[in-house]
Structure 1
């Protein structure tokens, strides 16, 4: 919706209790102001796919969507071909009323779980505003050398934060076995490292672990463990620029560095001179470098290899972020670097510059 100046949806969502198939029927009717045509979608993320629960045309700013759910879920209402959307907790047998504005806080009424989410977000918003005000007062008092006042305000700020956290924790505890708690506790999991993910998962109740957010955390933990330090790196086969297929396990070296990069990645290109020097200094001592590109255009890939003077093995399927090896290694950013020993065991991840040189030097001395 980022190309629309102001968007407001006003609609009611009625979820019907009678079942068909194995789920419960729901119907969404609404109006999209300043958007006269397009397609409206209700989608949900699964462990291995994205399901569309309902879709329908927007005609004259109005739309009707029908579908079914088997259990309460985290859903996204969005306009097809626009980024973003509105995340909400979808239940059966309750009416929803929603008003959404672009760049403004939405108003959502309907459903016990959505009500709990509204309460949670209201506490967060209220506390953030209070804390921002107190931080400004602390800054002012400090600048005026009223240090006692600043200290008192700092104490109030910490108390407000602690009070809010207790209220939020109580909400989560009260809902520990439902989708609300699972959703709140797994927010931002895509940016977590493996230890943080495991800690997140441990906080979930056994029932919450069986819900979709819990399943997604478990799946991501398993995927990260597969390419974690001390794991044996999964084998893969990709093509060289000349079209020859090459498998990771066929590359020999006492130390192997897998560098996931792309020609369009500025930080990757900035790191390349360090990798060139590293390779020159240690290639005769047992270092092998395998650069795996996330490029989609072969000419750009080859141009970058030549321009940066990268004389080691290069592989790619030219599928960008959709390639199998990207999913296999859980690559969500470039550059991403894996360091392997001669048995393809991962001994380090994401070392660059002097830290990478220090490890290679130690292993190949």
Structure 2
């Protein structure tokens, strides 16, 4: 009998021990763990960028890739979204939706990005539904005309002769000349003289598909509140830069804040919505404070009060910005003692080394220069300059912004008419 009891005890202990040692699924609440492979690319890094970020002036997520494998952790108890690029040449990128926990990614080269696989993210699954509903119809149209466009390019019948002449000049042009040439290209587009008639017919079909997509997108945004609409809202605010439907965007953001409370993207997205509530031109300038090169805080209103002024948002890495500013430079020399001034704000990354070097080599840039390091004061956002290097604003002596990117003549007329 004792032997039977001992046998039952040992069996019970074995069962109990076996159950105790069965591994449980790990619940990860405050960390996003990414593991994966790359296919068809020798890229050594993946870049994850929030739609509103500018990788030239802000820190972004960089994931090292070695032997086509990668592993990365992001500390967050919120789901996040990014545009993912497989190399720093960027390009079109792929929307990526992550959530706390473990995920496995299979990432293809850009040409085959539709084959990317994300396992472990229900938000990525939501995006696939959205992509099929919103993007696929217009993609079908584009895919049908893409071979025809390629055929025109192969026959050298895509651009007009005028456009081809400009592109030929661009091959040997200086930075100043290239800006003027690109402006000529824009004029040709406005005049319908940039593309051949055959190309224009195909592009008009493409434009129709874009209209279809916008209608489907509008419908989706109106009827869905999820991480995908959050992504699309930040994308629209960053790249469309229009003032459409302020109330609709405000209402959507209120719903998103309720669904994703205390989300790390909330403050900046709300700020972008508010900054685009009113146009900059024809309104009073928006004041701000920024440091100069000696770290003294300077208030814009103190510099321009009662004067006609040019506010120049630029960057040392932005060639067109520098060219546009150089065009206005003679005005400063001519009128700086006649109730006119210029204030530059350089949008730089990490430090002011490049700015100091530039100013050392351009001694005639003598007007006040302030700095905006890593977009710390959101000055570009405040002035609705998104997705580009900068912008120039003409302000009259009463503080009203009367033009964006004004010509030499516009600035001089404002000075003489005060």
**Structure 1 residue corresponding to 2:144, chosen from 111, 123, 130:** 130
**Structure 2 residue corresponding to 1:32, chosen from 14, 38, 41:** 38
- Cα distance, 1:340 vs structure 2: 3.3
Look up the match of 2:412: 357
**Structure 2 residue corresponding to 1:113, chosen from 118, 121, 126:** 126
SS in 2 for 1:103: helix
1:314 aligns with 2:368: yes
Q: Residue 37 of structure 1 contacts residue 60 of structure 1 at CA under 8 Å; is this kept in 2?
A: no
SS in 1 for 2:359: helix
Q: Residue 293 of structure 1 contacts residue 301 of structure 1 at CA under 8 Å; is this kept in 2?
A: no
Aligned positions of 1:287-302 closer than 5 A: 287-294=340-347, 296-302=354-360
- Cα distance, 1:192 vs structure 2: 3.1
Q: Residue 37 of structure 2 contacts residue 107 of structure 2 at CA under 8 Å; is this kept in 1?
A: no
Distance in 2, matches of 1:334 and 1:278, equals 22
- Cα distance, 1:187 vs structure 2: 2.7
- Cα distance, 1:176 vs structure 2: 1.4
- Cα distance, 1:122 vs structure 2: 2.9
| C-alpha spacing 1:127/1:338, structure 2 compared with 1 (3 Å) | same
- Cα distance, 1:89 vs structure 2: 2.7
- Cα distance, 1:259 vs structure 2: 2.2
| C-alpha spacing 1:313/1:244, structure 2 compared with 1 (3 Å) | farther
Distance in 2, matches of 1:262 and 1:163, equals 35
The count of aligned residue pairs is: 326
Look up the match of 1:219: 271
Aligned positions of 1:215-254 closer than 5 A: 216-223=268-275, 228-229=280-281, 230-239=283-292, 247-251=299-303, 252-254=305-307
Q: Residue 47 of structure 2 contacts residue 60 of structure 2 at CA under 8 Å; is this kept in 1?
A: no
**Structure 2 residue corresponding to 1:275, chosen from 325, 328, 349:** 328
**Structure 1 residue corresponding to 2:362, chosen from 298, 304, 329:** 304
Q: Residue 279 of structure 1 contacts residue 289 of structure 1 at CA under 8 Å; is this kept in 2?
A: yes
SS in 1 for 2:231: helix
- More strand by proportion, 1 or 2? 1
Gap regions ≥5 residues in structure 2: 1-23, 152-197
- Cα distance, 1:352 vs structure 2: 2.8
Gap regions ≥5 residues in structure 1: 1-15, 138-149
SS in 1 for 2:112: coil
Distance in 2, matches of 1:29 and 1:193, equals 35
SS in 2 for 1:233: coil
Look up the match of 1:182: 230
Higher relative contact order (CA 8 A, sep 6+): 2
Q: Residue 339 of structure 1 contacts residue 349 of structure 1 at CA under 8 Å; is this kept in 2?
A: yes
Look up the match of 1:260: 313
TM-score (norm 1): 0.62
Look up the match of 1:88: 96
Q: Residue 32 of structure 2 contacts residue 98 of structure 2 at CA under 8 Å; is this kept in 1?
A: no
- More helix by proportion, 1 or 2? 2
SS in 2 for 1:104: helix
Q: Residue 77 of structure 1 contacts residue 86 of structure 1 at CA under 8 Å; is this kept in 2?
A: yes
